[in-house]
Amino acid sequence: MHTNDRVLHALPYRLRSARQKKRSQKKDFEKRLVQLHKQQIRLWIKKKSLPWIPLSEPYQKGWKRSFVLREDVQRSNNAAFYQSLLEKINTIQYSKDKTFKIKRRRRGKKVSEVKKQFVHEFWEWEWNSSKLKLTEDEKRLFYRKETPSPKHRYTIVKYVYTEPWRFILRISPHIITHAKMVDEDLEQEIQLLGNYVQNNYLRHKIYKIHKGRKQNQRRFYNVKPKYDPIKNMSIHTILEECKKENL
């Protein structure tokens, strides 16, 4: 076979079909969505890592309620043991009102009642986790509680403390002494990316890439886009487009 015949014979196999081109475009588009999502995650982590700054003038913001040892338990020989246990299972609730009352509807009427509060109850996966900080002596003070779920065909398993009477609730002012540092440039960049994802209907596509299924699009959007707005665009180009939209 002649050399030119070999070239002409191999050429059709090197060209991509329309289906292959469409598939590569879709893959490239999904890669850019992944980069966009990673950029958002990096910005969120950067925001979360900002330090706390002490306030020059602390102020009160409502009230907080937590458990403390009863007076007779504090005077007992095992006070240190129960204090150490309380630090691991204590819970805190916040309220604008000192009474900690909430409104519930009963028989068509709204009734105010005090909100209930309990010490921490461990889920089964928490109890079996290696990160559980309870000692063997502390574990003996818990019992296994099984509650059938009324809506699902499984049983809810929790480990509950057996002696909650040793603790009492105490209400104290909620004093704010520190505030999170705010980076205006970082906040603006997060807002720009968030607006770009929201305005171009990209959230459900990102969700599908990571979760393997689509979000309910009607839950967030009323109009379905007719084209892919960020196809063949880099992250830097997207950021520039975001800044132009907000000018």
Q: Domain segments of the chain: what residues? A: 17-50+182-245, 56-179
| Stretches in the chain below the pLDDT threshold 50 | 7, 217-224
pLDDT at 150: 77
> Among residues 247, 217, 210, 226, which one has the least CA distance to residue 30?
210
Angle subtended at Cα 152 by Cα 150 and Cα 154, rounded to the nearest 5 degrees: 100
CA pair distance 167, 88, nearest whole angstrom: 13
CA pair distance 163, 69, nearest whole angstrom: 12
pLDDT at 228: 56
CA pair distance 159, 231, nearest whole angstrom: 51
> Among residues 66, 58, 59, 60, which one has the least CA distance to residue 100?
66
CA pair distance 218, 203, nearest whole angstrom: 12
pTM: 0.66
pLDDT at 53: 95
* Amino acid at the residue 219: R
CA pair distance 15, 21, nearest whole angstrom: 10
pLDDT at 64: 96
CB 85 within 8 A of CB 138: yes
CA pair distance 31, 231, nearest whole angstrom: 10
The alpha helices in the chain, defined as continuous H runs, are 3-14, 18-48, 71-74, 79-89, 124-127, 136-139, 184-199, 203-211, 217-220, 235-245
CA pair distance 47, 184, nearest whole angstrom: 10
Token couple for 199: 């305005």
- Sheet of 155-161, strand order: 122-123, 155-161, 142-148
CA pair distance 94, 61, nearest whole angstrom: 9
pLDDT at 25: 86
